[in-house]
Structure 1
Amino acid sequence: MNISARVENSAGRHQVTLRTGGNVQDLSIPPRSTGFGSSVNGGELLFLALATCYCNDVYREAAKRGLNVERVEVEVEGEFGAEGEPARNVTYRVRVAAQGSEAEVQELLRHTDRVAEIQNTLRAGTAVTLGRIEVVGI
């Protein structure tokens, strides 16, 4: 599965386009009040990615086990230090309403933590490479 995210930004304009395979969708994120950049920061989006991945994966893994999950709440917290420093103390909490014994639901949540792709990507320290650079005249 090929996934991409694209940001186009100029004065007063911020457009986000996400693509997974052939599925393309826009995500509404306004520009900064100063006009340039995004009104949300990358750390917030990173933590949203962690929360979203875990939430979606709880439903996916529950379906495999025949468990009915009615609601999932995920909150991710962490810290960023000086410019250029990676995040630290990243933790997340989950609250789930599901049918099944407490032991079954606990095991579902632990299993989901082990297979959540975004969590595992960060845990593995995946390389990120700057590709082609293109400078255009104004």
Structure 2
Amino acid sequence: MAEMSVTFRSIPGTQAAIGVAGTHTVVVDRPPGKAGGLGLGFNGGQLLAMAIGGCFCNDLHYVAAEMGIEIASVDVEVTAVFDGEPLLVSAVTVDVKVTPADPGADVAGLVARARATSTVSNSIARGVPVAFHGGD
């Protein structure tokens, strides 16, 4: 079993937060004018879509290496649809275009295997439980 942790802390002088994972950071905020947001960073929905797309991009490269396929370029677009109260993601679409260095490479097989092993999208699709602690 592997474990990863990230930390979020308020950015002084703003109502935004900075997320830290190892040596990497990301700023999270709300759009300007929404609950004190200044639009300084991504909102949660954008980060969720980025997690799905980013994980899938990495998985494409992992699987390509296993299959001996050299990838020339990857183009992935993730669209998340939000509905209801509270606002929840009701659907996610991932559009994928992979250009291999060898035009005869099995791109369909590559995408299918990457999809089958993609950690984030599979976790969401299976309904991973989320536990909150503190605040009391």
- Work out whether the TM-score is over 0.5: yes
Q: What are the ranges of 5 or more consecutive residues in structure 2 without an aligned counterpart? A: none
TM-score by length of 2: 0.81
Q: CA RMSD in A?
A: 2.3
Deviations 1:41-100 (A, max 9, x none): 111000000000000000000000111012111111021123424211211011111134
Q: Which moved more, 1:90-99 or 1:58-67?
A: 90-99
In the other structure, the counterpart of 1:17 is 20
Q: How does 1:27-38 map to 2 (within 5 A)?
A: 27-29=25-27, 31-32=29-30, 33=32
* 2:19–2:28 Cα contact (<8 Å) kept: no
Matched with 1:51 is 53
Q: Tell me if the contact between 1:9 and 1:36 (Cα under 8 Å) persists in the aligned partners.
A: no
Aligned length: 129
> Is structure 2 residue 32 aligned with structure 1 residue 67?
no
Identity between Structure 1 and Structure 2 (%): 25
Structure 1, unaligned runs of 5 or more: 19-23
Partner of 2:24: 26
Report the CA distance shift for 1:100/1:106 in structure 2 as closer, same or farther (over 3 A): farther
Distance 1:53 1:72 in 2: 13
In 1: Cα distance, 2:29 partner to 2:88 partner = 24
Match in the other structure for 1:21: none
